[in-house]
A and B are shown apart, each in its own frame.
Chain A
Amino acid sequence: MKTTFGERWWNRSEFWLVLANLIVYLVVYFADKQHNFGSTESLMLLVTETTMLGIFAIGMTIVIISGGIDLSVGTIIAFSSIIFTIVVKKMVLPALLAKGGVGPGVLLTATAATLSLALVIGLFHATLITLLKLPPFIATLGTLIGLRSLARVIAQWQFQSDKVSVSAPEFRALFNATWSFTVPGIDLPLRIRWVPLCVFLVVAIAAMILMRRTVLGRHLYALGGNEEAARLSGIRTDGLKFVAYSIGAFCAGLAGILYAAREGQGNSTNLGVGYELNAIAAAVVGGASLRGGAGTITGTILGAMFLTLVVNGIPHLIKIDSTLYEGIIVGVVVILAVAVNQLRTRGRSR
């Protein structure tokens, strides 16, 4: 008995996620009388939010596949936003700050500095986990709590404030730069924020190649699936953990830079709060197993899209007090999505 092409798709969780995304989109689109969910603005928002969540959810997925968890993602985002804005402000004379002094060189240097620090955080996690044998949950929980406070301390020490703002247009363009175009045959003009989209695409493609096509990726799956067997297969499992946690922190750092540009400020107190849970939700909806060894980048991207659609769809369905119900709806939908996926795959093996 051969499995047909159709059956192969039927068995892929990606197929079901695409379907779920379409259904959510269409339901919201048609339930909203003005069809605002299909407007230029709304589509731009959907794409941007999916890509932002996607960037750090991909990092989280790699950590989860390797059998770990990274609770510090939201905090790293806040910390990176502070570091990024501080470096920018320190490099540009105050007088020039509003008048085009923030050139590409400044942005690149600040980016490099921020990402290096994010990497250091990832390496720190891996050190705690491999050397002190701390469970990943604990090691990154420490950072979740401590790093936000450290970000505040640094911001206070440098600029006597919890937030560090940079209002220069070039700075904000890092997030806001848009590109408009029309697709032949559709008369709706489309706009996208291309910087986050490009960053996302680079991260996503690199991660897909890593996990699907490289030895390193295969070893990450092996590590998460059966750590002891991986060690006995001659895989240097400790080294792999350094790779996984560095990638996780690096992706969060990238997101932090983009969020700083979006807000026009580094924010140590309320940026990124709870984002680690969004990332975990995206990965799990996308088919990753919290026990490690299973999950795909494509799945996570579709999972991020699904969460974004649901969250952004709610105000279109509930016009009054939508934020009041948001948590309930998102919670229910996430559990449903994962449960359906579980039941489907279990039904296959029995």
Chain B
Amino acid sequence: MSTQSSATPSTPIISIREVSVEFPGVLALDRVSFDISAGELHAIVGENGAGKSTLMKLLSGVYTRYDGQIFFQAEPLRFSSTRDAERAGVSIIHQELNLVEQLSVSANIFLGRERRTRLGMLDDRAMNGAAAELLAELECRAAPTQPVGELRVGDQQLVEIAKALSLRSQIVIMDEPTSALTETESERLMRIIGRLKARGVTILYISHKMDEVFRLADRITVLRDGKFVSTVLPADSSPRSVAHLMVGREMEDASAFAKRTPGKVALEVEGLSLAWPGHAQPYRLKDIDIKVHEGEVLGIAGLMGAGRTELLECLYGASRLPPTGTIRIAGQPARFRHPADALRAGVALVTEDRKRLGVFSQLTVGQNITMCTLREAARLGWIRSKAEQAQATGIVEKLRVRTPGTEESITNLSGGNQQKCLIGRGLLTRPKVLLLDDPTRGVDVGAKGELYRLIDGLCREGLAVIVTSSELPELLTLSDRILVLCEGRLTGEFTRSEATEQRIMEAATARAGTLPRAS
């Protein structure tokens, strides 16, 4: 992808001028001005809470109240709704996906713009056909008639992209599209983005992954604390200097941890299997043996659908069907029927799907953080506000959650800051074994570094950590050992010194195609 092609052409497709947005207690955007050129891929980067999503929501008509002006092709425009923006050719793929889970893929793609037959009935045949075409173009294996709720996040996102395609949008906004994807799915997305660009679509791209940004972007705009910092060309810049612009201070290198020395076995799994009734592949997990020691970080790699989440759920007593095999915590056999049992035994899980499985959207930041440990802040079931407050502020300070206060509604926090709250919820249980399912999804570079250091520190105090990640570099940084899952079986084990991205990917795809596939 060329970097000079569209450096500064004469007419920008979008001009943002002196735009400010204020929420109670936060100035989310503070007199931001910059231009976006037609046909470019413009990356927007910044820390969690810098205002990236807010800006995108203005451009796509989600938020309608702001000061300042936005010009589309030199015309001042103010959208009054998302429908308005769609009509003007702007689509957004939100950070938190916006799909109706019960409806089918094609119904979601054509939601609000359903095709009709001459008699005014829904023309399912036409919609399914069109949807199938779009999905094929996006290399998505989902069927148009499948309910969206059954799809993995990666495919759900493609449904959103298919929607943007079907609208023939000239401007497509992607808010952290790869944060929930595995490497292969990200690769697929990169190819799709390439194709969109070839068609002349302008793309606004938010990501916390610097390698992606530098690979894709024609220009990069940095926001910090709601303010515009600068727009740079990738050729004149480096991931390090961009990170520096984002944070506003020099960052320590998080990857060089001193060697940790593992202690006793904290968790031991033998012959763990989880059935998958009614599927061509009759198990989700098969004959898994795992050992994790105190003070050790065990990484679990694997493609989406390989069973990473299912494995963690089994260890946490959260799987729908009980797994077979034995699990021992510190030598004691454990059979968890409910996550409450696991928590009592010192096993905590930070879930992968923040919106569906983590956040209580009607509760405050503080209430979300203390959800697992409220009993400890209570006497005879009676909550002592001071003790609860202490738990919440402790986490907010330790993890540097950016929020006006613990009384703020959690949905008013930026995505990355919500994630920090959920990690804090797990940490408060003072676990012996901490299960992290893709914990840094949507967390900015600075905060990631802090989190890695925090995990390292806890490990040195004797915590055992099992972590999965959609980013291999993250696993390589964090883990002492990496296990690779493929279609429910362990297909590789690497120590820190043996592990490379190449070897892990090979193990992760080792069995693909050799086993009957779930249809």
Contacts and interface: CB of A to CB of B under 8 A. Distances in A.
A293 B409 CA distance: 13
Nearest to A292: B362
B454 interface: no
B81 to A, nearest CB: 10
A101 interface: no
B357 interface: yes
Contacts of B360: 221-222, 225-226, 229-230, 293
Given A232-B357, A235-B340, A350-B65, A214 B24 contact: no
Contacts of A183: none
B48 to A, nearest CB: 20
A235 B343 CA distance: 10
Interface string B305-329: 0000000000010100000000000
Contact of B349 (A226, A228, A232): A232
Contact of A3 (B24, B342, B361): B24
B24 A215 contact: no
B77 interface: no
Interface string A201-241: 00000000000011110110110011011111111100000
B372 A234 contact: yes
Given A225-B361, A234-B340, A215 B374 contact: yes
A233 B361 contact: no
A110 interface: no
A232 to B, nearest CB: 6
Chain A: number of interface residues, binned into ranges: 20 to 34
B340 A229 contact: no
A294 interface: yes
Interface string B322-358: 0000000000000000111011100001010000111
Given A231-B318, A350-B63, A1 B425 contact: no
Interface residues of B, number: 34
A139 to B, nearest CB: 21
A294 B362 contact: yes
A63 B318 CA distance: 25
Contact of B359 (A215, A219, A226): A226
B339 A234 contact: yes
Interface stretch (B208-216, B239-247, B376-384, B498-506): B376-384
B265 to A, nearest CB: 24
A350 B64 contact: yes
Point out which of A3, A215, A221, A222 has the most chain B C-beta atoms below 10 A from its C-beta: A215
Contacts of B382: 213-215
A292 to B, nearest CB: 9
Interface string B24-44: 110000000000000000000
A232 B63 contact: no
Interface string A1-35: 11100000000000000000000000000000000
B111 interface: no
B363 A222 contact: yes
Contacts of B344: 234
B375 interface: yes
B182 to A, nearest CB: 22
Contacts, number: 84
B367 interface: yes
B88 interface: no
Contacts of A289: 362
A293 B362 CA distance: 7
A228 B372 CA distance: 14
Contact of B356 (A214, A228, A350): A228
B22 interface: yes
Contact of A225 (B64, B65, B339, B362): B362
A219 B367 CA distance: 10
B362 A1 contact: no
Contacts of A225: 360-363
B80 to A, nearest CB: 11
Given A231-B339, A233-B425, A293-B360, A215 B383 contact: yes
A234 B343 contact: yes
B337 to A, nearest CB: 10
B25 A1 contact: yes
A38 B367 CA distance: 44
Contact of A215 (B338, B362, B378): B378
Contacts of B356: 226, 228-229
Nearest to A223: B360
B371 interface: yes
Contact of B381 (A215, A221, A236): A215
Interface string A276-309: 0000000000000100011000000000000000
B338 A234 contact: yes
B65 to A, nearest CB: 7
A229 B344 CA distance: 17
A219 B370 CA distance: 11
Contact of A229 (B63, B342, B358, B383): B358
A229 B359 contact: yes
A232 B425 CA distance: 11
B357 A229 contact: yes
B367 A232 contact: no
B378 A214 contact: yes
A221 B375 CA distance: 15
Contacts of B381: 214-216
A3 B64 contact: no
A264 B64 CA distance: 60
Contacts of B378: 214-215
Nearest to B375: A215
Contact of B24 (A1, A222, A228, A236): A1
A232 B25 contact: no
Contacts of B363: 221-222, 225, 293
B66 to A, nearest CB: 11
7 contacts: A2-B25, A221-B360, A225-B362, A226-B357, A230-B360, A235-B340, A350-B64
Q: Which 9 A-B pairs have the closest CB atoms?
A: A234-B340, A234-B343, A293-B362, A225-B360, A234-B339, A225-B362, A233-B371, A215-B378, A215-B374
